[in-house]
Amino acid sequence: MNQQDVFKTLELHVDKGSIVSTSPIDGALLGKVQENTPQDIQQMITKATACFKEWRLIPAPKRGALVRLFGEELRKNKEALGTLVTLENGKILQEGLGEVQEMIDICDYAVGLSRQLYGLTIASERPGHRMMETWHPLGPVGVITPFNFPVAVWAWNFVLAIVCGDPVIWKPSEKTPLTALASANLFERAVKAFGKAPQGLLQLAFGYQEVGEMLVNPPHLPLISATGSTGMGRAVGEGVARRFGRSLLELSGNNGMILAPSADQELAMRAIAFASLGTAGQRCTTLRRLFVHTSIQAQITHRLKHIFANAVVGNPLEAGTLIGPLIDKRSYEDMQKALEVARVQGGVVQGGERVLTDKYPEGYYVRPALVEMQKQTEIVKTETFAPILYVMPYTDFDKALAQHNDVSQGLASCIFTNDVREAEIFLSSRGSDCGIANVNIGPSGAEIGGAFGGEKETGGGRESGSDAWRNYMRRATNTINYSHELPLAQGIRFDVGDA
Ligand code: UN1
């Protein structure tokens, strides 16, 4: 689908504004959007608050019906939106389409969920009493999303918030405003088809850091969900905690794999390739650290060198390309700096250089870097958002596990082994300390049905499936007395005599 058709299909009219969207493919101007002022944000919060008062009264399964319509719009427009993701973010078309599929999947999930917002019934210690938990809508939610998954991460939050009864103010990355606008247009179509929805279920807040701060500070939104760097998450987390708000943070990852001698090496190779090279190393779940047993180190490194040297780097719209451009020049520079430091710290670097400069002088395409390290130095412990895979040898499984956990991030992890003991230890309480721990499957490409997120500097939040919906609701514990007595808990007697 060509760019003109994409813009037409998604009703994008984007020729005015101070935020400029350019394509990482070739630096071409895609469009402009207007940055929002502080007054705009205040008005958005007021509008969202009014909207919430109505939306929370709509039964959850009806709210789910709106999400079903949104899912239908996404299905109809998968190609257009997926292509726009590729144009604006630079990930290969297969991944752009995959991202829209992830949105569709979470819509399906949320529709089902809208009939399953269950609370517990709890046994009361008092006769003639009943206890239960009720889950209520929480209020307007601020959602801050990164460039690397410009629409899927938002959708995980948005559609759950909508079925839970919460309007959303969305601050997309300033690098990917058009995909946000297009998604909002599709949602608007769903709202029209739905009929009677209050105004303001989704509002877009375009801008930079100050816009994020406006959402974090009072007058407050009860929940801020933020995905991105640890630095950003720290600011959000601290700001929200200061006013006793709730934050849902999904921050950096520095994901590892232990490749054991018994592993199926064919599977492992494919998993390593997808997890380290996919999305040009710009997933929060990208594989960045590989611990390989010394007995297989030579053959594994040999094969990886071949894969890294030959993986097709190029225009992400072209079939056959596996690695598109980095998002921008800064990202390229950060990658070069990291490789420089890695060399100083004893790393042997293959690849990492810029390519295709003649064809795309404004595009930052790189050959992925394979870095052989003797040990896990400081640079290995730092997340660099680029295709760099550090490979380190190990001999002792327990020591490899300790090294694996010896980083400040805790998002995704995996082990490739056919040794059931190693696999179970890796998943056990003394195993991987990450939010995602896998066996014989890479750390990236998680399905929406599971809770997504991680520990330590990854922020502790869980989005997407499982019980992540509870983030978007408030819990009330209810005790109901249907007896003629008023027994007190804990056996307390409190006799005031005849009143
Ligand atoms: C992210 O990079 O922030 O598990 C999200 C994955 C994708 C989501 C990544 N489903 O790689």
Residue-wise pLDDT for 216-245, tens only, equals 987 789 999 999 999 999 999 999 999 999
Check residue 88 and give its pLDDT.
Answer: 98
Q: Is the pLDDT of residue 22 over 80?
A: yes
Lining ligand 1 with CB less than 6 A are 102, 148-149, 153, 227, 283-285, 444-446
Predicted confidence band of residue 91 (pLDDT cuts 50, 70, 90):
very high
Percent of the chain with pLDDT over 70: 100
Whole-number Å distance, alpha carbon 165 to ligand 1 midpoint, is 25
Check residue 241 and give its pLDDT.
Answer: 95
Q: What average pLDDT does range 159-178 have in this prediction?
A: 98
Give the residue, out of 438, 444, 463, with the most ligand 1 atoms within 8 A of its beta carbon, to mutate for a pocket test: 444
Which residues have C-beta within 8 Å of that of residue 224, sequence separation ≥ 6?
141, 142, 143, 144, 215, 216, 236, 240, 245, 246, 247, 248
What value, to the nearest 5°, has the Cα angle with vertex 18 and ends 15 and 23?
65
Closest residue CA from atom 1 of ligand 1: 284
Closest residue CA from atom 6 of ligand 1: 445
Nearest to 189 by CA among 300, 347, 80: 80
Task: Write down the mean pLDDT value for the chain.
Answer: 97
Whole-number Å distance, alpha carbon 152 to ligand 1 midpoint, is 8
State how far the alpha carbon of 91 is from the alpha carbons of 238, 279, 450, in Å: 32, 5, 24
Check residue 279 and give its pLDDT.
Answer: 98
Atom of ligand 1 nearest to the CA of 102: 10
Closest residue CA from atom 7 of ligand 1: 445
Residue-wise pLDDT for 302-356, tens only, equals 999 999 999 999 999 999 999 999 999 999 999 999 999 999 999 999 999 999 9
Residue-wise pLDDT for 462-478, tens only, equals 999 999 999 999 999 99
Q: What average pLDDT does range 56-71 have in this prediction?
A: 98
Question: Contact at 8 Å (CB) between 410 and 435?
Answer: yes
Q: What average pLDDT does range 135-157 have in this prediction?
A: 98
Cα–Cα dist 309/159, whole Å: 41
Number of helices followed by number of strands (H, E) in the chain: 14, 23
Q: What average pLDDT does range 117-124 have in this prediction?
A: 97
Check residue 360 and give its pLDDT.
Answer: 98
- 161-197 as b/e: b if 16+ CB within 10 A: bbbbbbbbbbbbbbbbbbbbbbbbbbbebbbeebeeb
Question: Contact at 8 Å (CB) between 179 and 89?
Answer: yes
Check residue 203 and give its pLDDT.
Answer: 98
Predicted confidence band of residue 136 (pLDDT cuts 50, 70, 90):
very high
Q: What proportions of the chain, in percent to the nearest 5, are helix, strand and coil?
A: 40, 20, 40
Q: What average pLDDT does range 252-279 have in this prediction?
A: 98
Check residue 497 and give its pLDDT.
Answer: 86
Check residue 207 and give its pLDDT.
Answer: 97
* Residue 35 DSSP one-character state: P
Whole-number Å distance, alpha carbon 102 to ligand 1 midpoint, is 10
Check residue 388 and give its pLDDT.
Answer: 98
Check residue 218 and give its pLDDT.
Answer: 78
Q: What is the pTM of this model?
A: 0.97
Catalogue the active-site residues: 250, 284
Question: Contact at 8 Å (CB) between 382 and 338?
Answer: yes
Predicted confidence band of residue 442 (pLDDT cuts 50, 70, 90):
very high
Q: What average pLDDT does range 41-65 have in this prediction?
A: 97
Cα–Cα dist 420/401, whole Å: 15
Nearest to 478 by CA among 91, 40, 120: 120
Percent of the chain with pLDDT over 90: 98
* Residue 133 DSSP one-character state: E
The tokens of 274 are what?
């997808």
**Range 35-42 contact pairs with CB under 8 angstroms and sequence separation of 24 or more:** 35/206, 35/207, 35/208, 35/211, 36/205, 36/206, 36/207, 36/211, 38/210, 38/214, 40/205, 41/169, 41/205, 41/211, 41/214, 41/215, 42/214, 42/219
